[in-house]
Structure 1
Amino acid sequence: MEKTLKNKQHHTKESDFHDFNHDEEEGADFEEDIERREGFSAGSDKKIILLLAIGGVCIIAALIIVFVIVFQDSRKEREAVQAQMNLESMEQQPHSDEEAGTVPAQEEASDGQSAASSEPEEMPDVPAELEMQEEIQVGALDDDQDPQADGAAGTEANGAEVTVSAINKDETGSTTMGIDVSKYQGTIDWAQVKEAGVEFAMIRVGYRAKSTGELFEDPTARYNMQEAQAVGIKLGAYFFSSAVTQEEAKQEAAFTREIIAKYKITYPVAYNCEDFESPDSRQYGLDAGVRTSLACAFLDEIQAAGYTPMFYAAKGELEGSAKWDTQTLAGKYKIWVAQYPDQPYPATGASSYTGAHAMWQYTSQGTVAGIPKKTDVNIAYFGYTKEAEAKDETPAEVVEANPEVGIIFTEVNETVTAKQETNLRSEPSTLNDTSIVGKLVHGDTATRTGVGHNGWSRVIYNGQTLYAVTSYLTTNMEDTGQQAPPQGPVYTPVNESVTAKMETNLRTEPSTVNSDTVVGLLHNGEVLTRIAVGDNGWSQLDYNGQTVYAVSSYLTVVE
């Protein structure tokens, strides 16, 4: 039994040894397998990492390429935008100090004119036609070629009577109040105008003769700009056009900017064109499209010169593009509309014109302290916190109020008397009755020092320089002549049927000074007989057996 046990133990040991060796062999094989697997896994991991690294590098490179392309495009776009902004700045020069206001009819007129920099701007080239003009001609006070009638605008009636006083800023916000003036307002005391609360003035620079086409400076333009600027009233300007070609319109713009260059023009420079339907107008027969292109030619030149362009017309001419391409004009420029309600601003809070507009002329019957005649009054829906600088820094020549501007006098030295009797006036014009300061009767003498080309004489009477109609004077003390006709306008007899272009007042006298003289209203389509045409811009009409007066430019002949 012991031997058997030993054999069993020996067998067991051998089995154990065999099993151990077998286990060692299997363990070695397992380790080799593990090593092979680990080697394979490590190799695979290295390949994956390498591929990922290569992919990452490619992605980064692609992103860099895209970034460079986008950056270059963005830079080019920025440069293009900056170039455009610079170009627009040169052309428009928006005023950084403008106070934008709210405009009736959904317009916000915020694009003002910039105050000029300390460096004077280079003025655009002057057309050859203007360069050849040796000297700017100044228009006469009495000029039947002046296309602007004294009184209401376009198709508007005269408007409500109003006395101008300062606007309550708390009620109107950035709304500003102003006037527009020309020779028809006479010599203005601008200090009184300032005290009346007027904030800006649109000064007529000049006009083109309605038949001959000559260019004339308004005889009061420089004096008005000088004096208004001196008292702190901000300046705007306008030109009254009779251009028939774009070249003429550009010439008018050059004419305008030459005159205004030395003054501080803060408010817009406007294009005004009326009376184009009168047969004696050189614009007669031009359609709305052609006239609009002429306005654009003028205003584009004004904008290029660094001023804010603005277009002026009456409500009836703008609505429905009746007389102008309103959409084109309103899309490019500020609009200044004339529309006269029965009750003036602020009783009437806004114009009935529904189109976009930046300025509203609400009457031609304004009474303003310092202005001897009725004047147009305006509300602008924008303002400026400071004055612009003049485009030309050269100081403007100082001018004095001179009633003789625009009149060519032949100097003489002779004693005259009245053929019978004549008025002596402080200015050579019948436009203003307040200019009458006395009478010269036959036998009483004065010294004549000049004979004007417009039918007026300059005389010295009791130490005063006064004016009298030349045809009422004589150097022959024995010549009593025939009874001189009543002094005043000359009416040429006619016999023709007329109607109103739109509508116009009929008055008992040829004057808009007193609203009590209105006896009727003539509408388009209603026909009256015109019996005379005056050299003062008024026509005599037969109205139910009564002689009445209407503004000639508001009438048209019925064929």
Structure 2
Amino acid sequence: DTPKKDANIITYGIDVAKWQGVIDWKKVKEEGITYAMIRVGFRTLDTGIIVEDPYGEYNIQQALKNGIKVGIYFFSTAINKEEAIEEAKWVAKFIGPYSITYPVAYNCEGFTDPNNRQYGMTKEERTDLAISFLDYIDKKDYTPMFYASKNELEGDAQWNTNTLSKKYKIWVAQYINTIGEDMKSSYSGEHHMWQYTSKGVVSGISGPVDLNLAYFEYEADAKPKDDKATEEVVADPTALINFKEVSETVTAKAETNLRSFPSSKDPDTIVAVLKYKDTAERIGVGDNGWSKLKYNGEILYAVTSYLTTDLDYQEKQEKQEKHENQVPSIDNPEAGITFTQVNENVTAKEVTNLRIVPSTEIDDTVSEVLYNGDIAIRTGIGDNGWSRVEYKGKTLYGVTSYMIVVEQN
């Protein structure tokens, strides 16, 4: 449908990508949102691979299902004409089965970063790539639109703005401090859509979202360019979590809930309880503190710190606690102490007491005095700072830091 534009027309919309998570589009519609500019994909900043936005198709389907008109944008890092056209073809194929009424926009940012593959390109080179992308979109009978910030557009600072604005709709980003009915962008150039804040609050979206005004509207929905049938997409709630792939058997340290979603906010997500000695296959460790598990044929999630790969965890813990709670005594001088076995000659740095118990907490335990030059045989170094030695036919204990090793002649 041809856009209708006059001085009085303003339509209210949002633009979304994976950062907005799983959106409740019914609630978004109830907020009065007319359209959504949806990111469908991007080319990576370093390797230059085209990647589908994990929520792109879900967002298109659900926005349309709830009566919200859809526009599209793609984040480009193309470095030559071939890549720019490749991006445009990828977008056109991706959106072909859907009613895309609002424009299809070219988005390119971050090119002043030395780590960006576009670093060092001139504005003329980047403008030519945008034209290649948008001309292909135009040939596919979509409305092409160019997105950039006010600072990049004004005075041809980063783009040949005059050339682009003569050919395509312009979507300008310029954020304001006060939002009201009479607000206007301070961008002086012609523009058709204005992104006026990145901190919008819209029901159905957790967290901030970009808000936009369009100075045009469409009375009817565009027809899909491709009659290919599509299946309804289910949004993956974990798409924003980076999971390191693993394959290992785990159990609970005590017991822990297994959930359908890696968050403890909703009690309704609890599917099962994993108890100590019950096992599950861990297939991923997330950067959010959760693990991905296979359990009884389902993919579930548990807090990583509540799991262990040690299937004898509790027995070892009990043994360790029992060991740590033991106190050296005359009857059991090495209780609670772990000794590393050695066999070496030692003497005192100056002079040190040798005791029948490796502790100063018990009175009258000094048996011998070791002077510098006297030789004892050390048979163990304890984790409590004491050494076990053989001296004058007795097993005794001295402070490790008061002794030095001497070479045997």
Give the TM-score, by structure 1 length.
0.50
- The alpha-carbon deviation at position 476 of structure 1 amounts to 1.4
- d(CA) in 2 for partners of 1:421 and 1:298? 55
Instruction: Answer yes or no: is the 8 Å Cα contact 1:249–1:295 preserved in 2.
Output: yes
Residue equivalent to 1:100: 5
- d(CA) in 2 for partners of 1:283 and 1:327? 22
1:357-407 CA-to-partner distances (Å, cap 9, x unmatched) read 000001111111111121001000000001001001122221112235598
1:398 aligns with 2:303: no
Aligned-partner residue type, residue 100 of structure 1: K
Residue equivalent to 1:293: 128
Residue equivalent to 1:304: 139
- Identify the structure with the greater helix proportion: 1
Instruction: Answer yes or no: is the 8 Å Cα contact 1:253–1:299 preserved in 2.
Output: yes
Alignment of 1:459-498 (within 5 A): 459=293, 466-467=300-301, 474-478=308-312
- d(CA) in 2 for partners of 1:444 and 1:373? 39
Instruction: Answer yes or no: is the 8 Å Cα contact 2:284–2:293 preserved in 1.
Output: no
Q: Name the count of aligned residue pairs.
A: 310
- d(CA) in 1 for partners of 2:48 and 2:117? 8
Residue equivalent to 2:341: none
Change over 3 Å in CA distance of 1:295–1:424 after alignment to 2:
farther
1:157-205 CA-to-partner distances (Å, cap 9, x unmatched) read xxxxxxxxxxxxxxxx421000000110000110110001000001101
- The alpha-carbon deviation at position 278 of structure 1 amounts to 1.3
Aligned-partner residue type, residue 99 of structure 2: K
Aligned-partner residue type, residue 215 of structure 1: I
One of 245, 254, 262 as aligned partner of 2:89: 254
Aligned-partner residue type, residue 178 of structure 2: Q
- d(CA) in 2 for partners of 1:364 and 1:296? 27
Alignment of 1:3-152 (within 5 A): 95-96=1-2, 98-102=3-7
- d(CA) in 2 for partners of 1:441 and 1:203? 40
Q: 5+ unaligned residues in a row in structure 1: which ranges?
A: 1-94, 103-172, 482-559
- The alpha-carbon deviation at position 279 of structure 1 amounts to 1.6
Instruction: Answer yes or no: is the 8 Å Cα contact 2:256–2:306 preserved in 1.
Output: yes
- d(CA) in 2 for partners of 1:345 and 1:189? 26
1:257-305 CA-to-partner distances (Å, cap 9, x unmatched) read 1110011000000000111111211111111111111111111111111
1:92-112 CA-to-partner distances (Å, cap 9, x unmatched) read xxx34x22133xxxxxxxxxx
1:479-503 CA-to-partner distances (Å, cap 9, x unmatched) read 699xxxxxxxxxxxxxxxxxxxxxx
Q: What SS does structure 2 have at the residue aligned with 1:177?
A: strand
Change over 3 Å in CA distance of 1:213–1:186 after alignment to 2:
same
One of 212, 226, 232 as aligned partner of 1:378: 212
Instruction: Answer yes or no: is the 8 Å Cα contact 1:425–1:435 preserved in 2.
Output: no
Change over 3 Å in CA distance of 1:182–1:331 after alignment to 2:
same
Change over 3 Å in CA distance of 1:174–1:393 after alignment to 2:
same
Give the TM-score, by structure 2 length.
0.67
- d(CA) in 2 for partners of 1:340 and 1:312? 14
Higher relative contact order (CA 8 A, sep 6+): 1
More moved, 392-401 vs 371-380? 392-401
Residue equivalent to 2:10: 175
Aligned-partner residue type, residue 241 of structure 1: S
- d(CA) in 2 for partners of 1:471 and 1:433? 14
- d(CA) in 2 for partners of 1:424 and 1:277? 45
One of 68, 73, 82 as aligned partner of 1:238: 73
One of 153, 165, 170 as aligned partner of 1:335: 170
Larger Rg: 1
1:69-108 CA-to-partner distances (Å, cap 9, x unmatched) read xxxxxxxxxxxxxxxxxxxxxxxxxx34x22133xxxxxx
Residue equivalent to 1:37: none
Change over 3 Å in CA distance of 1:284–1:295 after alignment to 2:
same
- Identify the structure with the greater strand proportion: 2
1:363 aligns with 2:197: yes
- d(CA) in 2 for partners of 1:367 and 1:446? 43
Q: What SS does structure 1 have at the residue aligned with 2:103?
A: strand
- d(CA) in 2 for partners of 1:417 and 1:190? 38
Instruction: Answer yes or no: is the 8 Å Cα contact 1:345–1:362 preserved in 2.
Output: no
- The alpha-carbon deviation at position 316 of structure 1 amounts to 0.9
- The alpha-carbon deviation at position 426 of structure 1 amounts to 6.2
